[in-house]
Structure 1
């Protein structure tokens, strides 16, 4: 598939105009982006320009180009001051010895910051920085050298004195003000919650809605027949759902692989025609995979020319109406929508109890997503500073922390070059000890009245599972107090009357779509994928998983593709990734590497808090949720028709989400 075809497939028919297509090709060449990455940046650009035109014309592309350039320059400036891992005097030998290293010519930063010197070129001096509230908040006052009395700037002081849990120079959080609100959902309707009363004896405790024992399976032991049974069961389940929803008879559902002049309805899984496509999709490359019962598991190419609007991706289970007249293609006449699950409901008495338990106050939740240190260090002083903000100013009833806490793909961890931690007398000997001796003491500082939920990542060194779905951390092994709860990935729990779900796999970045049609293509990417999560009824609807790879050079000088752990799916246990209890969660939190957001899709609040700290060391973001109590007289709860005393919770009307810098 040529680059021009890829651009037209991604950007739609508007990109088929010669001048527009030439402008997009120029952006590909200038910024070294493929069609998929360029389209993702375009959707982020369109999201940021809410209310302004984003028609695909030369004027908008010119603004889009300036936006990309500004991002690159900002990243280059940040990486130039914060630094990344580099050889230091007396340190371990460079991991790139014997390899060609990209370096910028002269003083100009290279594109995307490649080759920018990342280690501060300062000689080490002994500096005494007295811990103060300003230090903890990430602002270090000027200091002086004890011997020479020479004045040091805050950045120089941080570059030498790492602070709490530092192993190498601490990142400088530059150009971003802490506590700055970046985005808000339901700004006008709901005020920010006061938070937990640390002097009160009452505490809000979540109740889990998952069977933790089912997640304690052994990974890397997949059985082919078990995997086939799970994938087949998914198709059969959706066939029954479609048949019941559209009131179809058994004869109305047919096999799309059999040549016939009759129109049929069929249910199958979207697959690409070749596993070597590397995520590059177009409408001509899609096929439909059938279940063993409906079509003996065979696949048939799809003809989608008659479909006006669609948003399709590999692994999506779809219901189609059409016919296979030639025996070579299934001509799709219509894509049938799959119904959503019901929402949880509560009685008026239960809601009144929830209202009284909160004494009429709003519930406050803080959501953080790792990593918690920059890519050039294992410094967690910024996390320690944030813990103090949690105790003093934020004071949430609940803190949800997503991993990775200690990332196995971190340059220092993956290379084994973990320096000493200056604050520790006995240095850790294993990665588990790095967690318990460096990270655990910081987490223990969270006030016991504040409940904390830890959700692992497949990149966490402290996790025994490297596949999704993933077992939880062991709280006792991590030496954490009782106000901490270690939940699985994914997990669903109840907080008062609210039904909350969390999943720590990046469905928003991994899902590669084929989008067609004005109404569908004009919707935001985040909205479309959130809609897919709801209709597919599982937190990661993509199949196979979005595995990430990077090109590296081996010892012989040959470029090879190295696997970077993405969504490694344990297929026989994919049932654990589906919605619990045949109910749609009212709040779904799925962290993503893409732009932070908070959106309401089909009356469900979706939140991506962003990352706590960027790889370059620049301050990241977190999500602060304020949820008003369920007041029956406030008009924000809806009574279920035909039921005497049952109400929908309507959390989306009562929830305010603020995305705030860390």
Structure 2
């Protein structure tokens, strides 16, 4: 560019007139950084705006020179990056280099160059050549050299055995949600509809408590008084952050409290376990809009023994004559199903080989199947689509596994139940999720009766045994947000408080697989939740007998609320090493107990009511009646608690948020659980 003259400098920057030193310095800057007088004037204006420099001086020109130097350096770096990208050429889709080829070692990936494929008759789309049972781990990998294969890390009732049914059982979903319920509000959520559904949960609990004489009378959270009362609402935090005793608030319903919030004082409450979004009844005194709590109810107190007997009969009739007549064996594992150092899915192959040995009635697989956090997936180094990876590494091995048993003419064929995960890269990641859609012609007709794709979350029956499962880490989220005070028992022989059983019981008490609201925000592991769909389709249609809650927390098998067996099978793959899987067998209640049971389970002789099996469909019916009575967000204010009575259809109905009468302990003696290393 032409040299800049002194006259141009004085014309563009009037502050330099009459000062030869300033003009000389400006000329030097223009020459060094290839600037025109106009460019220098623009830089000076930027400096005066950013540095608040009002007068032209040699010190101000030093700052101006630094600014020009930084700007010139940034332009050079941008130009260098552009030249590097141009030299490399456009990226080649569907290829991999020497640094990423090892990720698919042993999978049989076709590495024929593209220009040779047409001549050789090979499809230009990279594919996998899988053996009938998948692929083995790459030699020398951490999974191939793993130790303690088959080691039992958690066990329950070892005097029992992993027994399965002698006949072919059937799998059926319990009250499966419609796909429209899971998709209609995604990215189009109406705030009034969400508020109506949230309010309906509180109103349902108020209805269930109305008319009971075993608790103090109901009162609005906004009404102060000197008498003890019962206040129903949703636990919420004053602001962002974790719940604590100083920031604990209770939000009442719009019908009784106009949606007001009031602070809760827990200093006189001996025991509690709370989290944001929990529906509770606080018993205490409301003094100046601050409830001094003496008790917190998360479930309704149990009713009398006659209700327990009626619930037993109703549960037996609801589950059908086949319920409890034979043992039911379940094998369960949660993703990820491959290690982080390759995509061979070796842990999944080892799981199918083990399933071939133990022959369960049902194999329950919880996603993610194509983990979005896998280094190859996150880095875009997979040479096929994620859907193809799922079909070739998950569906095809499962199809071959079932076909191998059909060809052997086995007396029974295990069912396979698959639940997706928000971490699946080939699916929409909003929870709750619709069932997996198998590609056309991916499964032959003779295999489809044994493959069951369910929504996330889902409740299903296998041989009359009710199982509920979800592939989100609800326990970890609850553990992060829970505010608990659990006194240590004074009796040394009494069992100590069990945190894992308490966290799992939150799910059962709230009748919801993800009861947190709002869902905590974690940038490291985000969990997008469709709140409206979660309120509609994320609940438990009935009280299950087995609850599968996969989590990053330590694996366990515990007896939770209502005598429900809660199992965390862990993860099948942990980084580059193997993880765990669970073997669960529930024996019929009519079987005589071995003598060894008295030693391992002292309470085994306690008679248990079949109220464990009592279905809580009344909870959904009551919630639906609340929604129907509200009709909309605006009309909900006209509903009054005292005008609404529980519409129970007799003593056999189990109330929402209610404790099953005389909750049985027989599941503790009927169930066999082993969680093993893969």
Q: Structure 1 484/273 Cα, relative in aligned 2: closer, same or farther at 3 Å?
A: same
CA distance in 2, matches of 1:316, 1:354: 33
Q: Once the 2 structures are TM-superposed, how far is the Cα of residue 325 of structure 1 from its aligned partner?
A: 2.2
Q: Once the 2 structures are TM-superposed, how far is the Cα of residue 567 of structure 1 from its aligned partner?
A: 5.8
Instruction: Determine the structure 1 residue equivalent to 2:225.
Output: 260
Which residue of 410, 432, 435 corresponds with 1:472?
435
Q: Which runs of 5+ in 1 are unaligned?
A: 1-87, 94-118, 130-162, 421-427, 551-563
Instruction: Determine the structure 2 residue equivalent to 1:91.
Output: 99
Which residue of 371, 381, 384 corresponds with 1:407?
371
| SS at structure 1 position matched to 2:577 | coil
2:496 is the alignment partner of 1:535 = no
Instruction: Determine the structure 2 residue equivalent to 1:206.
Output: 171
Q: Structure 1 245/179 Cα, relative in aligned 2: closer, same or farther at 3 Å?
A: farther
Q: Structure 1 297/572 Cα, relative in aligned 2: closer, same or farther at 3 Å?
A: farther
Which residue of 170, 177, 193 corresponds with 1:226?
193
Which residue of 584, 587, 595 corresponds with 1:625?
584
| Contact in 2 for aligned 1:624/1:658 (Cα 8 Å) | yes
Which residue of 291, 299, 322 corresponds with 2:261?
299
Q: Once the 2 structures are TM-superposed, how far is the Cα of residue 209 of structure 1 from its aligned partner?
A: 0.6
TM-score normalized by structure 1? 0.64
The one-character-per-residue Cα deviations of 1:471-521 (angstroms, maximum 9, x if unpaired) are 110134582431110011111112223221112221211012112241499
Instruction: Determine the structure 2 residue equivalent to 1:316.
Output: 278
Instruction: Determine the structure 2 residue equivalent to 1:518.
Output: 487
| Contact in 2 for aligned 1:463/1:472 (Cα 8 Å) | no
TM-score normalized by structure 2? 0.62
| Contact in 1 for aligned 2:334/2:366 (Cα 8 Å) | yes
| SS at structure 1 position matched to 2:523 | strand
| Contact in 2 for aligned 1:638/1:648 (Cα 8 Å) | yes
| SS at structure 2 position matched to 1:283 | coil
Instruction: Determine the structure 1 residue equivalent to 2:329.
Output: 364
Instruction: Determine the structure 2 residue equivalent to 1:172.
Output: 143
Q: Structure 1 605/245 Cα, relative in aligned 2: closer, same or farther at 3 Å?
A: farther
CA distance in 2, matches of 1:519, 1:478: 58
| SS at structure 1 position matched to 2:433 | coil
* Superposition RMSD in Å: 3.6
Which residue of 272, 285, 291 corresponds with 2:237?
272
Q: How does 1:47-86 map to 2 (within 5 A)?
A: none
| Contact in 2 for aligned 1:503/1:539 (Cα 8 Å) | yes
The one-character-per-residue Cα deviations of 1:96-134 (angstroms, maximum 9, x if unpaired) are xxxxxxxxxxxxxxxxxxxxxxx99xxx9x9999xxxxx
Instruction: Determine the structure 1 residue equivalent to 2:671.
Output: 655
Q: Structure 1 287/598 Cα, relative in aligned 2: closer, same or farther at 3 Å?
A: same
Q: Once the 2 structures are TM-superposed, how far is the Cα of residue 633 of structure 1 from its aligned partner?
A: 6.8
| Contact in 2 for aligned 1:176/1:618 (Cα 8 Å) | no
CA distance in 2, matches of 1:128, 1:585: 40
2:434 is the alignment partner of 1:460 = no
Instruction: Determine the structure 2 residue equivalent to 1:395.
Output: 359
| SS at structure 2 position matched to 1:548 | coil
Instruction: Determine the structure 1 residue equivalent to 2:161.
Output: 191
CA distance in 2, matches of 1:436, 1:127: 17
Which residue of 381, 401, 410 corresponds with 1:446?
401
Q: Structure 1 297/383 Cα, relative in aligned 2: closer, same or farther at 3 Å?
A: same
| Contact in 2 for aligned 1:599/1:605 (Cα 8 Å) | yes
| SS at structure 1 position matched to 2:270 | coil
The one-character-per-residue Cα deviations of 1:12-71 (angstroms, maximum 9, x if unpaired) are xxxxxxxxxxxxxxxxxxxxxxxxxxxxxxxxxxxxxxxxxxxxxxxxxxxxxxxxxxxx
Q: Which runs of 5+ in 2 are unaligned?
A: 1-95, 109-133, 303-307, 407-412, 490-494, 594-604, 612-650, 653-662
CA distance in 2, matches of 1:340, 1:492: 25
CA distance in 1, matches of 2:526, 2:225: 44
| Contact in 2 for aligned 1:168/1:377 (Cα 8 Å) | no
| SS at structure 1 position matched to 2:280 | strand
CA distance in 1, matches of 2:459, 2:606: 24
In the comparison of the two structures, how many residue pairs are matched?
467
CA distance in 2, matches of 1:655, 1:442: 30
Q: Structure 1 536/354 Cα, relative in aligned 2: closer, same or farther at 3 Å?
A: closer
| SS at structure 2 position matched to 1:284 | coil
Higher helix share: 2
CA distance in 1, matches of 2:373, 2:350: 24
Of 222-231 and 408-417, the range deviating more from structure 2:
408-417
CA distance in 2, matches of 1:547, 1:350: 40
Q: Once the 2 structures are TM-superposed, how far is the Cα of residue 355 of structure 1 from its aligned partner?
A: 6.5
CA distance in 1, matches of 2:213, 2:225: 22
CA distance in 2, matches of 1:192, 1:293: 52
Instruction: Determine the structure 1 residue equivalent to 2:463.
Output: 496
Q: Structure 1 484/305 Cα, relative in aligned 2: closer, same or farther at 3 Å?
A: same
- Rg (Cα) greater in structure: 2
| SS at structure 2 position matched to 1:226 | helix
Q: Once the 2 structures are TM-superposed, how far is the Cα of residue 346 of structure 1 from its aligned partner?
A: 5.0
